[in-house]
Amino acid sequence: MWHPDLSPPTSWPRLKPLVVTLAALLLLGQGCTIRIGQPTTNDGGVFRSDDHGQTWMQKTFVGRQKKRLLTISDVSGVALVFDPRDHKHIFLGTRVNGLWQTTDSGEHWQPTTLRAGRFDCLSFDPDNSQILYTASGSTVLKSTDGGGSWSPVYLEAQPGHIVKCVIVNPLAGNEIWALTSGGKLILSQDYGQRWTVRTTMTPLEPRRLTFDFDGSGRIYVFSTTGGIYVIRDHGTTVENLSAPLQSFSGGSDIRAVTIVSGPTPSWYLGTLYGLLVSHDRGLTWTSIPTLVTPRSVAIENVAVNPRQSDEIFIIAGQKLHRTTNGGTSWSVSTLPTKRIPTLLTFDPTDPDQLYISTLKPVKKKSGLF
């Protein structure tokens, strides 16, 4: 979770770009592709723009073994998280190929020890970004060396349930919160050593789990189709904030969430209805006009310039839309990939840079088995 009040230290341990051997390739998982003496041809992985989306570069390089080129151009990204003390250090959570990282804004990628599985979220300790947490399957994992190695700190005991998301309190690094597929909100107050159930919500699929920026300790849960919830009183009070969204047909079908911090944060939602914004923590919503007819095509991705909120990018119908005046007018361009875009985000420190990751379509099995 990005914490805007953290400033970079004077020195920081750097991870060297990894040159992967052919033997190591066997450990990288099925997402790596190999091309002999040629650029990669798969149009997945990660793309970066350094000019506000005007041009794009595929950033998937892992290493070389003689004439063999190793890349992540075939992985499906589901989470892209920036180190709060070093914006060039980025983690990529994938659908099946584990957790990857780069220390140079995507120029080189290297696998972590989590080389398989799905990773939808990752959260940093606010006081030490060498400490971070993630979740996959039924397990919450912790790293104390900047993502180099990981250890389990929680295993969900309920049969058939998994941990959907994990988040650290930005004002109290000892508090680790996690939400399970059964709706249990659990808390550790000692950096993941012991856990308690604080409340049980209606089971939902979270789109985003985030703390309020005002230090109140409120937690907001944005779900895919179940609306928005606020959790107060240290996890004991849950309130459904979805009623104002009912004014927009399809507004509760949330495809993307972007939050711009400030004295009063602004919430931007990409929904089946269209693009919505709230400047009062979900009490009221306004529709931002786009070139897309409401309910015709869902707004699948939203990115807002963290320094100039009038610049907004959305993805709808495999097209990239951009406004620099808060939605008064838009320009439309073609995406750099034919795959399904799953992530669209600004670099939190350098708003000239914009990132996209994609989802590889799952091939349906034919036959009876």
> What global pTM score does this model have?
0.87
d(CA 96, CA 137): 11
pLDDT at 5: 37
Instruction: Report the alpha-carbon distance of residue 49 to residue 66 in Å, rounded.
Output: 29
CA distance 276 to 286: 6
The count of other CB atoms within 10 Å of the CB of residue 340 is: 15
Can you give 65-92 as a three-state secondary structure string?
Answer: ECCEEEECCCCCEEEEEEECCEEEEEEE
Say which residues have a Cβ less than 8 Å from residue 170's Cβ, sequence separation at least 6. 1, 3, 126, 211
Question: What whole-number distance in Å separates Cα of residue 101 and Cα of residue 116?
Answer: 14
The pLDDT of residue 364 is: 61
DSSP class of residue 117 equals: B
C-beta of residue 311 within 8 angstroms of C-beta of residue 322: yes
| Residue 16: burial class (beta carbons within 10 Å; 0-12, 13-18, 19+) | exposed
- Check residue 4 and give its pLDDT: 38
Question: In the prediction, which pLDDT does 49 show?
Answer: 98
316 bridge partner residues: 319
Whole-angstrom distance, CA of residue 194 vs CA of residue 196: 7
Task: Name residue 357's beta-bridge partners.
Answer: 46, 343
- So where are the chain's domains? 15-74+243-360
pLDDT of residue 201: 94
Q: So what's the pLDDT on residue 30?
A: 42
Taking the chain (369 residues) in runs of 10, the rounded mean pLDDT of each run is: 36 38 39 41 92 96 91 96 96 97 98 96 96 98 96 96 97 97 97 97 94 94 95 95 96 97 92 98 98 96 96 96 98 95 95 94 58
- State residue 7's pLDDT score: 34
